[in-house]
Amino acid sequence: MEQIYEKIFELAKPYYEKARPYDILAIEWMIGQADRIADIEDLDKKLLLPLIILHDIGYARVAEDNPDVKDIKSKKIHMEEGAKIANAILIQLDYDQKYIEKITYYVSIHDNWIFNDDIPFKECKEMGVFNDLDFMYPLANPSMLKARADSMGETIEENIKGLKNDEKLKRRPLCCEQTKKLFKQLIEKAKTY
């Protein structure tokens, strides 16, 4: 990872450690995949990588230790507050001015699909790939998948099936060949957990 992204991640980590330390592993996985996919799909890493690193940073300012990710109020706060923190970090690091506004804006709406707003994910391919990776991450991590299944009162097998047939995918399919391919691979891998 280029030095500038490492610096962003270093400044972001204390916020994740405060609220949801498990996000750090998720982000590391997403960065690895995004870096590879960006080369193949010709994506703008200067937008995509900071967006991935900073997207959930705002949970540090949601007033619970372990925010309920399904709670609409937490969702709104973590996006609004996350945008402010992301903006401050990028300014502190003197990040490319052209990108600061864009990244801040996308952090502020990065989960808008839960409000049935799919437009940003269709208009901006980096947002599409970010959201695809965010969506499929549980499949890449056995303990995360188990925690997800437990929280929904499902077996791992049922949970994998649920992800495969998720409503969101019917409304807005995965955004490119690379994320489609990865999703298939992860489903197969997850069946062996």
Residue 78 CB, nearest approach to Fe ion (Å): 6
Q: How far apart are CA 189 and CA 4, in angstroms?
A: 33
Q: How far apart are CA 57 and CA 104, in angstroms?
A: 12
**Structure tokens given for 173:** 């399919």
Query: Which span (49-57, 93-101, 124-132, 171-179) binds Fe ion, by CB under 5 A?
Result: 49-57
Q: Mask 94-113, x = binds Fe ion (CB under 5 A)?
A: -----------------x--
- 56 lines the binding site for Fe ion (CB under 5 A): yes
- 81 lines the binding site for Fe ion (CB under 5 A): no
Contact 57, 83 (CB under 8 A): no
Residue number, 106 or 185, with CB nearest to Fe ion: 106
Total residues at interface with Fe ion (CB under 5 A): 2
Residue 192 CB, nearest approach to Fe ion (Å): 28
- 23 lines the binding site for Fe ion (CB under 5 A): no
Residue type, 85: I
Residue 180 CB, nearest approach to Fe ion (Å): 22
- 3-state percent helix, strand, coil for the chain, nearest multiple of 5: 75, 0, 25
Among all chains, which residue has been given the structure tokens 């060949």? 177
The DSSP secondary-structure symbol of 61 reads G
Residue 111 CB, nearest approach to Fe ion (Å): 4
Interacting residues toward Fe ion by CB under 5 A: 56, 111
